[in-house]
DNA sequence: CCTTCTTAATAGACTGATCTATCAAATTCT
DNA sequence: AGAATTTGATAGATCAGTCTATTAAGAAGG
């Protein structure tokens, strides 16, 4: 039988330890030795499950993070009271994560991007895909609220940029202020549009871009 | 005499090579050997000018970047036609930098933050200071345009968050789209307020927060 | 003007630690 | 037993950092 501590599966534990370490120390700063230790896995297991080494592990960590937090975005849009509320909730959730971890647990995808975008096409591409998953989740939430395709795409890029940057600033400052400040302004932009979308739905007369104030 | 290539001074060359490498490979991913080689400096010089090693070099790189790009923000506010224009110009300048470097030259302070915020208080604090310099530059530009102190502070955090995050997304995607999308929405937020400030100046009757709509 | 003293900078060999990666032995399952 | 999986020892490279020696350049003193 398998025995102690392996109830989750070694590969899964390695992936989780990888995500955690990439969050706190970046990709380059996280060694496989630390990683296997944190996962409670023997050294050889890393190369058993990821024969192509650290890069492969990194790619899979990023992909998993993309899926996981993509679900988080979708859930937030499902649960919340309108797109502005959904987005603000994610900002606030992120602020809580940062505070609870003493501002260590940043975004693993951003960390991997900055460490590897210039040196590993495989990792850069994995990060691009993970961001793409999140962008589409946000985009979907906005479209469901009435945004046109193009507007949803552009807004999603803005929303994700704002939260990713705010995480960086919050970590440096060890303060939730950048996240909360950004949340308010992003929400303002989204809410204003959401109102237009509601109006356009209620009265589908005008072609596009109702009036400008 | 000094001889070839040293006309800038070895320390300065080390700092510049450090900034460049931190931009492209992050702090942890940039080795001192690469760094001294890129600077055309002998190995020993790194420890001659930075006796406390890589961490000290990192701190000074970050401080210098803080000062340099802080001046850039101020210049943009001086030259531009209003705060919205100034901010959009910085976004567009950053997009040009990314395109010209094939999306390798990101923000050195963000890179150092993500790699070291959890492991080196000295570096985390240096990054916080550099961001603070930029925040105050933006804040100053906004106040000059009529923003109140509190509004300028909050807006500056939002603006810097948006551009930092957009740089990350643009690097991952190898596309200027996130920067340009964010620029438009940030500008919308700033321009709308700038109009209020102008109105409040022209007609200083109402107490605060003129009308909403 | 020339010599000597002093300090700054250059230069690279070297150390111990740590990194990624390999691999053959050990273990587990069928 | 035999096949598949798991495992830790270890190789080879590279890391940050130390050390000693050399060169450059000026200051002090005759």
Among B27, B113, B161, beta carbon nearest to A182? B161
- Can you tell me the mean pLDDT for A163-183? 98
- A111·B113 Cβ contact <8 A: no
- Cβ of B1 near strand D (distance < 7 A): yes
- Quick check: is A74 in a domain? yes
- Can you tell me the mean pLDDT for A168-178? 98
- Quick check: is B209 in a domain? no
Chain B 24-83 residues whose Cβ is under 7 Å from strand D = 30-34, 43-44, 47, 51, 53-55
Chain B 7-26 residues whose Cβ is under 7 Å from strand C = 10
Amino acid B24: pLDDT: 96
Q: What is the phi/psi pair of residue A174, to 5°?
A: 50, 50
Sign of CA dihedral A96, A99, A102, A104: positive
Amino acid B7: pLDDT: 56
- Can you tell me the mean pLDDT for B64-84? 97
In eight-state DSSP terms, residue A203 is: S
Select the more confidently predicted residue: B86 or A213: B86
Domain with B54, as residue range(s), is: 10-202
Helix (H) or strand (E) run with residue A47 in it: helix A43-49
Cβ contacts (< 8 Å) between A106 and chain B: which residues?
Answer: 114, 117
Amino acid B207: pLDDT: 55
- Quick check: is A130 in a domain? yes
- Quick check: is A2 in a domain? no
- Can you tell me the mean pLDDT for A112-117? 96
In this structure, the dihedral spanned by the alpha carbons of residues A141, A146, A150 and A154, taken in order and rounded to 10 degrees, is -50
**Which residue of chain B is at minimal alpha-carbon distance from A165?**
B165
Select the more confidently predicted residue: B1 or A177: A177
Tokens 């970047």 — which residue?
Answer: B65
- Can you tell me the mean pLDDT for B86-99? 98
Answer whether residue B213 shows pLDDT above 60: no
Q: How many CB atoms lie within 10 A of CB A153?
A: 19
CATH number at residue A14: 1.10.357.10
Q: How far apart are CA B3 and CA A158, in angstroms?
A: 50
Amino acid B206: pLDDT: 60
Amino acid A4: pLDDT: 35
- Quick check: is A209 in a domain? no
Q: Per-residue confidence at A127, pLDDT binned at 50, 70, 90?
A: very high
- B169·A160 Cβ contact <8 A: yes
Among A113, A132, A171, beta carbon nearest to B171? A113
CA distance B109 to chain A (A): 9
Amino acid B162: pLDDT: 98
Amino acid A10: pLDDT: 84
Q: Per-residue confidence at A3, pLDDT binned at 50, 70, 90?
A: very low
Q: How far apart are CA A57 and CA A67, in angstroms?
A: 15
pLDDT tens-digit map of B110-134: 999 999 999 999 999 999 999 999 9
User: What percent of chain B clears pLDDT 90, i.e. is strictly above it?
Assistant: 85
Q: How far apart are CA B38 and CA B41, in angstroms?
A: 8
- Quick check: is B2 in a domain? no
Per-chain mean pLDDT for chain A: 92
For strand D, the positions having any atom within 7 A of a protein Cβ are 5-10, 14-21, 24-25
Cβ contacts (< 8 Å) between A134 and chain B: which residues?
Answer: none
Name which of B31, B111, B121, B157 to mutate to probe chain A: the one with the most chain A Cβ atoms within 10 A of its Cβ: B157
Amino acid B44: pLDDT: 86
- Cβ of A43 near strand C (distance < 7 A): yes
In this structure, the dihedral spanned by the alpha carbons of residues B182, A164, A148 and A79, taken in order and rounded to 10 degrees, is -150
Angle at B143 between CA B140 and CA B144, to 5 degrees: 85
- B161·A162 Cβ contact <8 A: yes
Nucleotide nearest to A54 (CA to C1'): C20
- Quick check: is A22 in a domain? yes
pLDDT tens-digit map of A49-85: 998 999 999 999 999 999 999 999 999 999 999 999 9
Report how many domains make up chain A: 1
- Cβ of A6 near strand C (distance < 7 A): no
- Quick check: is A34 in a domain? yes
Q: Per-residue confidence at B98, pLDDT binned at 50, 70, 90?
A: very high
């Amino acid at each position: 039988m398998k025995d102690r501590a392996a109830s989750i599966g070694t590969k899964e534990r390695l992936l989780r330890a990888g995500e955690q370490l990439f969050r706190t120390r970046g990709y380059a700063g996280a060694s496989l030795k630390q990683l296997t230790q944190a996962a409670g896995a023997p050294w050889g297991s890393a190369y058993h499950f990821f024969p192509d080494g650290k890069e492969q592990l990194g790619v899979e960590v990023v992909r998993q993070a993309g899926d996981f937090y993509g679900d988080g975005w979708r859930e937030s849009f499902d649960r919340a009271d309108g797109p502005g509320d959904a987005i603000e909730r994610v900002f606030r959730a992120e602020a809580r994560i940062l505070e609870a971890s003493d501002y260590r647990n940043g975004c693993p995808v951003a960390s991997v991007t900055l460490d590897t975008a210039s040196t590993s096409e495989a990792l850069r591409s994995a990060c691009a895909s993970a961001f793409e998953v999140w962008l589409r989740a946000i985009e979907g939430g906005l479209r469901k609220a009435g945004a046109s395709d193009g507007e949803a795409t552009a807004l999603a890029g803005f929303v994700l940029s704002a939260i990713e940057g705010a995480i960086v600033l919050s970590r440096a400052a060890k303060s939730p202020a950048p996240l909360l400040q950004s949340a308010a302004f992003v929400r303002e932009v989204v809410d204003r549009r959401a109102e237009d979308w509601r109006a356009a739905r209620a009265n589908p007369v005008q072609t596009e871009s109702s009036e400008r104030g």
